[in-house]
Amino acid sequence: MRIIELYRQKAPLLSLEIFPPRMAYPLESVFDTVQELKRLNPAYISVTYGAGGSNRERTVEIAARVKKEYGIEAQAHLTCIGHRQEDIKNILARLNREGICNIMALRGDIPEDEPEFDFRRQEYHYAFELIRDIRAAYGDSFGIAAAAHPEGHPECPRLKDDIFHLKNKVDNGVDFLITQLFFDNRIFFDFWERCQAMGINCPVIPGIMPVLNAGQIKRMIYLCGASMPAGLLKLVDKYEKEPVDMEKAGIDYASQQIKELLENAVAGVHLYSMNKPRQISEIVYNIGLASPGKY
């Protein structure tokens, strides 16, 4: 089923993101995570597509098994930068064959470690081209989500221009948007309002990444350009060398953040699970989107 139908039937929805294990690790390890996450009764699970990584092949396989073996709707991420149109055609055909009908359509990051990479010579430059091609080849057979960046995408100097490009993605056939991580809800609410003012009327689902350890979050912030409110910065400074307390504070912070989002009528919450089901379960129970022992 296309995920947008789920949002139409019942909101707010809980969705969870997982990533494929590196090739050095057995594929099966991710299914222990899926088994635990299933208890939270998520509306769907999304599976990331590794940037330039050899584990890309695993995305389709994991998504297909999440759906067939665990009975959970699955969304496969797909990035287009670096792919030829022919590659994308083949991947879409495989997704279709495997019964996956939801795609998170992304551009992907421009590789920094490939000096010979020539952006201008790529067959795909932006996510809207991928979205356009999926719709042209498959009509409404696939549900399509796309990424939104509440603080602006790092490559785009003005948020206004980024939202203009976002509108173009939606106009090319996006059903709903999932945001990049953010830690200050005011940034999300402001962004959501600006999207609406620009005529973006589809659901905008906040993406939440709990701060579970100080090093990980500094890396993420560096990569995606999210800002850190003073309150959270204080927590990270205070507990930097105390991992157990850091994790507890991070779980509390994310729970509070989500509670406030739910009070403000978001259609759902997308949790970046980082393949950490125990911590994610604590958050989900805290916010009351699942009850312990119910499933």
Residues labelled as active-site residues: 17
Nearest CA to 287 out of 246, 241, 255, 264 is that of 255
Cβ–Cβ < 8 Å for 170, 198: no
Cβ–Cβ < 8 Å for 87, 52: no
82 binds ligand FAD, rule: CB under 6 A: no
Beta-ladder partners of 147: 178
221 binds ligand FAD, rule: CB under 6 A: no
**Largest Cα–Cα distance in the chain?**
54
Of residues 217 and 246, the one with the C-beta less far from ligand FAD: 217
Task: Spell out, one character per residue from 174 to 193, where the chain touches ligand FAD: x when CB under 6 A holds, - when not.
Answer: ----x-x-------------
Q: Which residue type is seen at 39?
A: R
Give SS3 for 143. Answer: strand
CA 27 from centroid of its chain's CA atoms:
21
Of residues 178 and 266, the one with the C-beta less far from ligand FAD: 178
Q: Least CB distance from residue 62 to ligand FAD, whole Å?
A: 12
Cβ–Cβ < 8 Å for 81, 107: yes
Of residues 128 and 183, the one with the C-beta less far from ligand FAD: 128
48 binds ligand FAD, rule: CB under 6 A: yes
Instruction: Report the chain's C-alpha Rg in angstroms.
Output: 18
276 binds ligand FAD, rule: CB under 6 A: no
220 binds ligand FAD, rule: CB under 6 A: no
How many binding residues for ligand FAD (CB under 6 A)?
23
The span of 5-13, 35-43, 102-110, 192-200 binding ligand FAD (CB under 6 A) equals 102-110
The span of 113-121, 122-130, 248-256, 279-287 binding ligand FAD (CB under 6 A) equals 122-130
Q: How far apart are CA 248 and CA 195, in angstroms?
A: 34
106 binds ligand FAD, rule: CB under 6 A: yes
How many other CB atoms are found less than 10 A from the CB of residue 138? Answer: 17
Q: Please give the residue ranges that form the binding site for ligand FAD (CB under 6 A).
A: 48-49, 51, 77, 79, 104, 106-109, 126-128, 147, 153, 155-156, 162, 165, 169, 178, 180, 207
